[in-house]
């Protein structure tokens, strides 16, 4: 199933993922298609112009996730072409959709070989070298739960799969398919109907675990980190609950502890990222994952209030350091379609300035609103939101210049007074990195809010401080005695401060922060 590249350039191009990395997700097929249109010639991973690589080296970005480089399934394309609901989704996202726009799902993998349309294995090595020369790590995909219906394992290793019976095929034909000598289950999430274009692997099979580790070792030779699709589906409890006796004997060890430890023996710096739901993040961290999706925070940002967000951030820092924050990715609706303009910026300010990894999505900076199905090779034209782009540019510059995500993070207490409870709408935290001291305060509500925010580094030996808002560039001066009970913050709806604290020997009282 796995075809190693002929030249492994890992040592020359390895850029280990940083602590608290900012990862930029790119739909590889769409990106190369647009570059081909822009430059008037066919462009693959080995022929991307230098200026286009330069454009990815956005200040503050640490890694690029080239989503969807592996060989896609012809059988999967045929299934999608017959699926009326998918066809509706395709036409809704791309009004002038044509059949050839469906190039197959990147999560319906024929083989873990770089798709020839994208340039093949050697061209991926060239792309990795270009990213590394700009200090960027490379992230790729791994899909542990299932493979395409035409994957070679169907014939070569049918024992790797959950198998059924003729009765299963008769009673629930939408959940099983005839693979010749065997009846094999379609891939499944226990809360949704089976996926008709993929075959369900059996995580309880020891031979499958060995084969998966071999694939991951090959992937580890091609990139610096891997994003593991629907990682929680491989946990023993979930496998047993979903498949019961069909999965066979439950192993004493977990799938992820087995495969991750095998890969780490040869690639100790290689990082594992879990797409994780159902509050399984802690479990997956304990099994070796470096980062897990923070879907709970995303849901709170979309549907809940500032106090709910603050309570989420009370978790131990060792747990938070291994979360990946986001307000959109290829599986979620576009942020600009979910949030109004002011709320989106407040949500982005929160996600971008918390500990852990940060996932940013192609088109997010420009305010794209149409979520593109991953099957499609092109996307519609949309206007650029220049104000939003300027906001992200400035925020990423601040993160880069202050070392914001490399220092010590601390959630700040805030309080109000008896006749004003709007302080509950404010969340605040601090970062300390060398001489840089930053307070971030966000009013995550549609009304004006005030609070007293506790400053963790107040020192009676410093009589006054200069406070510079790195977003608005406003400057304030505060005496130590003014802030003993807390720094007074007064914020308009969905507004925020990013306050840089610089000690002063002498200061005069001026203004209100």
User: pLDDT (tens digit, 9 = 90+) per residue, 312-340?
Assistant: 999 999 999 999 999 999 999 999 999 99
Strand-pair category, 22-27 with 63-67: parallel
- What's the pLDDT score for residue 505? 64
Rg (CA), the chain: 25
- What's the pLDDT score for residue 64? 98
- What's the pLDDT score for residue 9? 40
Quote the mean pLDDT of the chain: 94
Helices (H) and strands (E) in the chain, counts: 18, 23
Is the Cβ–Cβ distance between 465 and 502 less than 8 Å? Answer: yes
Mean pLDDT of 442-467: 94
Residues of the chain with CATH 3.20.20.80: 15-142+294-402
Q: What is the pLDDT of residues 72-120, one digit of tens each?
A: 999 999 999 999 999 999 999 999 999 999 999 999 999 999 999 999 9
408-504: CATH class: mainly beta
The kind and range of the H/E element at 13 are helix 10-13
- What's the pLDDT score for residue 508? 43
Task: State yes or no: pLDDT of 434 exceeds 60.
Answer: yes
Residues of the chain with CATH 2.60.40.1180: 408-504
Sorted by sequence, the CB contacts under 8 Å of residue 401 that are 6+ apart come out as: none
Task: State yes or no: pLDDT of 511 exceeds 70.
Answer: no
Task: State yes or no: pLDDT of 461 exceeds 90.
Answer: no
Question: How far is the C-alpha of 424 from the C-alpha of 421, rounded, in Å?
Answer: 6
Give the CATH number of domain 15-142+294-402; options: 2.40.128.260, 3.20.20.80, 2.40.50.140, 3.10.310.70.
3.20.20.80
Q: What is the pLDDT of residues 141-181, one digit of tens each?
A: 999 999 999 999 999 999 999 999 999 999 999 999 999 99
Task: State yes or no: pLDDT of 18 exceeds 80.
Answer: yes
Q: What is the pLDDT of residues 496-506, one digit of tens each?
A: 999 999 998 64
Coil, strand or helix: which one is 490?
Answer: strand
- What's the pLDDT score for residue 285? 98
Residue 9 has what DSSP assignment? Answer: -
Coil, strand or helix: which one is 493?
Answer: coil
Strand-pair category, 183-187 with 496-504: unpaired
Task: Residue 153: count other Cβ atoms within 10 Å of its Cβ.
Answer: 18
Sorted by sequence, the CB contacts under 8 Å of residue 279 that are 6+ apart come out as: 296
Q: What is the pLDDT of residues 348-397, one digit of tens each?
A: 999 999 999 999 999 999 999 999 999 999 999 999 999 999 999 999 99
Nearest CA to 507 among 469, 479, 473, 471?
479
Give the pTM: 0.94
Mean pLDDT of 399-414: 92
Question: How far is the C-alpha of 406 from the C-alpha of 158, rounded, in Å?
Answer: 47
C-alpha distances in Å from residue 494, one per residue of 55, 237, 350 = 30, 41, 11
Q: What is the pLDDT of residues 233-288, one digit of tens each?
A: 999 999 999 999 999 999 999 999 999 999 999 999 999 999 999 999 999 999 99
């Amino acid at each position: 199933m796995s075809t190693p590249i002929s030249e492994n350039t890992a040592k020359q191009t390895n850029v280990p993922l940083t602590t608290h990395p900012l990862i930029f997700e790119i739909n590889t097929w769409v990106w190369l298609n647009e570059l081909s249109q822009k430059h008037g010639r066919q462009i693959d991973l080995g022929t991307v112009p230098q200026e286009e690589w330069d454009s990815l080296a956005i200040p503050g970005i640490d890694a690029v996730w080239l989503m969807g480089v592996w060989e896609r399934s012809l059988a999967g394309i045929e299934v999608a072409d017959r699926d009326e609901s998918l066809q509706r989704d395709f036409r809704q996202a791309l009004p002038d959709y044509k059949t050839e726009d469906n190039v197959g799902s990147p999560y319906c993998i024929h083989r873990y070989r770089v798709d020839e349309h994208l340039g093949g294995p050697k061209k991926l090595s060239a792309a990795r070298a270009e990213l590394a020369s700009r200090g960027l790590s490379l992230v790729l995909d791994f899909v542990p739960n299932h493979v395409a219906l035409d994957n070679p394992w169907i014939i070569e290793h049918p024992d790797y799969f959950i198998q059924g019976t003729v009765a299963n095929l008769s009673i629930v034909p939408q959940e099983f398919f005839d693979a010749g000598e065997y009846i094999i289950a379609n891939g499944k999430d226990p809360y949704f109907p089976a996926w008709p274009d993929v075959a369900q692997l059996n995580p309880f099979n020891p031979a499958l675990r060995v084969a998966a580790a071999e694939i991951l070792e090959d992937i580890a030779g091609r990139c610096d980190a891997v994003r593991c699709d629907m990682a929680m589906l491989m946990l023993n409890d979930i496998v047993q609950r979903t498949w019961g006796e069909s999965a066979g004997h439950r192993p004493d060890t977990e799938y992820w502890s087995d495969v991750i430890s095998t890969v780490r023996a040869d690639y100790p710096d290689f990082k594992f990222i879990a797409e994780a739901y159902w509050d399984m993040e802690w479990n997956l961290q304990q099994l070796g994952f470096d980062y897990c999706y923070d879907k709970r925070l995303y849901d709170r940002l979309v549907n809940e209030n500032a106090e709910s967000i603050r309570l989420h951030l009370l978790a131990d820092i060792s747990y938070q350091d291994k979360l990946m924050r986001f307000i959109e990715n290829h599986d979620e609706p576009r942020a600009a379609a979910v949030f109004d303009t002011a709320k989106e910026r407040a949500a982005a300010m929160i996600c971008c300035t918390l500990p852990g990894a940060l996932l940013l999505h192609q088109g997010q900076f420009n305010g794209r609103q149409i979520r593109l199905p991953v099957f499609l090779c092109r996307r519609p034209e949309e206007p650029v939101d220049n104000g939003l782009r300027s906001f992200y540019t400035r925020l990423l510059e601040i993160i880069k210049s202050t070392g914001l995500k490399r220092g010590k993070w601390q959630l700040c207490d805030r309080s109000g007074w008896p006749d004003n409870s709007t302080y509950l709408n404010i969340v605040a935290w601090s970062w300390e990195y060398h001489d840089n001291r930053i307070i971030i305060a966000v009013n995550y509500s549609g009304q004006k809010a005030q609070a007293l925010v506790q400053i963790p580094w107040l020192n009676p030996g410093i009589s006054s401080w200069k406070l510079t808002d790195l977003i608005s560039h406003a400057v304030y001066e505060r005496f130590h005695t003014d802030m003993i009970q807390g720094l007074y913050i007064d914020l308009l709806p969905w507004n925020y401060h990013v306050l840089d604290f610089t000690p002063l020997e002498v200061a005069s009282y001026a203004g209100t922060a």
